[in-house]
Copies of this chain bind each other. A is one copy, B any other.
Amino acid sequence: MSKQRFFEAFLAYAGLNMVLAAAAAALCAFIAPSAAGSGIPEVKAYLNGIDAHSILAPTTLFVKIVGSILGVSAGFVVGKEGPMVHTGACIASILGQGGSKKYGLTWSWLRYFKNDRDRRDMITCGAAAGVAAAFRSPVGGVLFALEEAASWWRSALLWRSFFTTAVVAIVLRAGIQFCSTGKCGLFGEGGLILYDVGSPQTEFSAGDIVAVIVLGTVAGILGSIYNFLVDKVVRTYSIINEKGPFFKIFLAVAISLLTSCCYYFLPWIANCIPCPTDSKVPCPSVDESGEYKIFQCPPGYYNDLASLFLNTNDDAIRNLFSPKITKEFHISSLFIFFATVYFLGILTYGIAVPSGLFIPVILAGAAYGRVVSRLFEPITQLDRGFFSLLGAASMLGGTMRMTVSICVILLELTNDLLLLPLVMLVLLISKSVADIFNKGVYDQILKIKGLPYLEAHAEPYMRNIATRDVVSGPLMTFSGIEKVGNILHVLNTTGHNGFPVIDEPPFVDAPELCGLVLRSYLLVLLKAKNFTREKVYANPSILENISVLDFGKAGSGKGVKLEDLDIQDEDLDMYVDLHPITNTSPYTVVETMSLAKAAILFRQHGLRHMCVVPKSQGRPPIVGILTRHDFMPEHVLGLYPDIKHHKWH
């Protein structure tokens, strides 16, 4: 990059970025569309009980890893943290499925994980491991899994995820030790602690507190605006992306060009700053990882804005976190950097590239904190680097609305627990302020993606609706001993996954609810073809040629399918006893129970089906079945549009 050939340099820079961006977008568009974006909302959805197609498939894993590397290399304002959480969850999911049959990787001992609960636990641990690896923050990883990812939490899960992140920490440290000889490029720099904000004061004045409160409040507002704009941008992009893979690639390339323009041309605005005389690192530097970029400046001077823009994200954050004595930035440079990263972060999310949100928000927040520290210089003694950290914390709190986990992650990044009280304060302020305006960014993305996420709390108006008022559709039930033809017909004509089984006379006096049978179990039973001519109870040998393992939860796209069945016409009039495969302890609620209470029950137990039974006698023994979709506010409001505005006394 010689001084005289600026335009060629830009062409090379932007061109390379665009090629990398196109490659990342092509991978996402053609191979695994669900690998685009952060991945944290998807993991959150899966842990909430949503088995969406291909969220955690092996191809998603591959594209997520490669695409994330390409995306970060392309100079996008994206992070690697969200994708690493998704990666961790994918690996856990593949292990939880007992390996991938399609790719010939299976381990028989993993079959014990073939159930919903253990797979969910595995994936929670995987998400914790992702954060632990991305931020080198083992305790933060556990807290992230607890606060943001998991919908259900068991105390055993706490120490299991803790164990997972402990292993991550030890492996990471071994890797860093191995790489400390310089064999692995930039990896391993900084040990387990990435950033050092210098030793802070332990005493605060009233002015410091005022500055921090203002910082947190404004960050809360900025964070909620961020979420609002991300929401709008993602909705706009999804219209473009739906038109086809080439539109996806085009959009990614366009954003890449915009990013390159900002990064290349904005530093020209900045003034040159004389190098510090006592610097231990070369200043000015021309190579890719230096702290003081020469850019267009004369020797002995450096360009502060270029030091932020034309650097790795990690180094830019380290620059911003550095104490005042070590390095200083012009307030105009900081403001330009903040505005650029803030808006580019918004514009970049939603393109078909694996893109984390943590790094853009931390970058914007760190620059914002440093700007604020300049403004409050007269009243506060706090160090610039510390203010920058507080800015990053407050911006994270304002967008993601996590508290404990962000606090611990940032403290683990900087290794100074003395910072704790102010970081806690600023996080709580920004989260509380932002919560007034809208929801956290991940919740918004979940909603845009149309994933039926069950909130921990029911909507207030659900207290005034009984469960019987929302059960919908014709109810399909089976007799305890049912005709094979009927079962096949029902399986063919409906998409339900659970069916109530009713015991009928002459086996009992009056019809009564025997339990619930799953579609997958019915398919396994039909495949075994243990049918009888008469309507009689099956003898105990019916399950003999079926292994218990066949009933295990299959991986995505696996398990017995309706087309696999080989039922002859003469079988259709025969009977099969459903009792051996019926869950006789399904969760039931009375039809008059409030929907709010039923929703809490549904969510807390991680149910997929809930039986609604009648209150009075002399009626069929089941009123209906509630599934996840029946609890969605959209569904309820669709049935009762006026209920939200109704005044309840």
Interface string of A613-635 (1 = CB under 8 A from B): 10111100100000000000000
Contact of A618 among B146, B193, B431, B617 (CB under 8 A): B617
Per the 8 Å Cβ criterion, residues 576-624 of A in contact with B are 584-585, 587-590, 592-594, 597, 600-601, 604-605, 613, 615-618, 621
B424 touches A138 (CB 8 A): yes
Contact of A616 among B146, B512, B613 (CB under 8 A): B512
A510 touches B617 (CB 8 A): yes
CA distance A415 to B417 in the complex (A): 6
Whether A588 contacts B590 in the complex (CB less than 8 A), given A417-B415, A508-B616, comes out as yes
Which B residues are in CB contact (< 8 Å) with A5? none
A421 touches B604 (CB 8 A): no
User: Closest residue of chain B to A424, judged by CB?
Assistant: B166
Interface string of A135-154 (1 = CB under 8 A from B): 00011001000110000011
CA distance A152 to B415 in the complex (A): 32
A404 touches B589 (CB 8 A): no
A513 within 8 A of B: yes
B428 touches A162 (CB 8 A): yes
Further pairs besides A162-B424, A191-B202, A512-B617: 20, Cβ < 8 Å: A138-B421, A139-B139, A139-B404, A139-B407, A139-B420, A142-B404, A147-B155, A153-B153, A158-B404, A159-B404, A162-B407, A163-B428, A169-B421, A170-B421, A173-B203, A509-B616, A584-B592, A585-B594, A617-B617, A617-B618
CA distance A318 to B203 in the complex (A): 23
Q: List 21 A-B contacts (CB under 8 A).
A: A142-B404, A147-B158, A162-B403, A162-B404, A162-B424, A166-B424, A177-B203, A192-B202, A192-B417, A192-B418, A192-B420, A509-B616, A509-B618, A510-B616, A585-B590, A585-B593, A600-B605, A601-B601, A601-B605, A604-B605, A617-B617
Contact of A428 among B166, B403, B600, B613 (CB under 8 A): B166
Interface string of A150-193 (1 = CB under 8 A from B): 00011100110011011001100100010000000000000111
Interface string of A358-377 (1 = CB under 8 A from B): 00000000000000000000
A456 within 8 A of B: yes
A425 within 8 A of B: yes
Interface size, A (range):
35 or more
B403 touches A158 (CB 8 A): yes
A42 within 8 A of B: no
A408 within 8 A of B: yes
Distance in angstroms from A105 CB to nearest chain B CB is 28
Distance in angstroms from A158 CB to nearest chain B CB is 6
User: Closest residue of chain B to A616, judged by CB?
Assistant: B512
Per the 8 Å Cβ criterion, residues 425-454 of A in contact with B are 425, 428, 431
Distance in angstroms from A608 CB to nearest chain B CB is 15
Distance in angstroms from A606 CB to nearest chain B CB is 10
User: Closest residue of chain B to A412, judged by CB?
Assistant: B417
9 nearest CB pairs, A to B: A166-B424, A169-B421, A159-B403, A585-B593, A617-B617, A585-B594, A415-B417, A512-B616, A510-B617
Which B residues are in CB contact (< 8 Å) with A219? none
Which B residues are in CB contact (< 8 Å) with A35? none
User: Closest residue of chain B to A590, judged by CB?
Assistant: B588
A353 within 8 A of B: no
Whether A421 contacts B166 in the complex (CB less than 8 A), given A584-B592, A592-B584, comes out as yes
CA distance A456 to B153 in the complex (A): 11
CA distance A166 to B404 in the complex (A): 10
B154 touches A456 (CB 8 A): yes
Contact of A592 among B159, B163, B203, B585 (CB under 8 A): B585
B421 touches A173 (CB 8 A): yes
A588 touches B588 (CB 8 A): yes
A159 touches B418 (CB 8 A): no
Distance in angstroms from A170 CB to nearest chain B CB is 5
CA distance A213 to B418 in the complex (A): 31
A416 within 8 A of B: yes
Which B residues are in CB contact (< 8 Å) with A146? 146, 158
B418 touches A615 (CB 8 A): no
Which B residues are in CB contact (< 8 Å) with A592? 584-585
Contact of A424 among B155, B169, B193 (CB under 8 A): B169
Distance in angstroms from A157 CB to nearest chain B CB is 11
Distance in angstroms from A504 CB to nearest chain B CB is 12
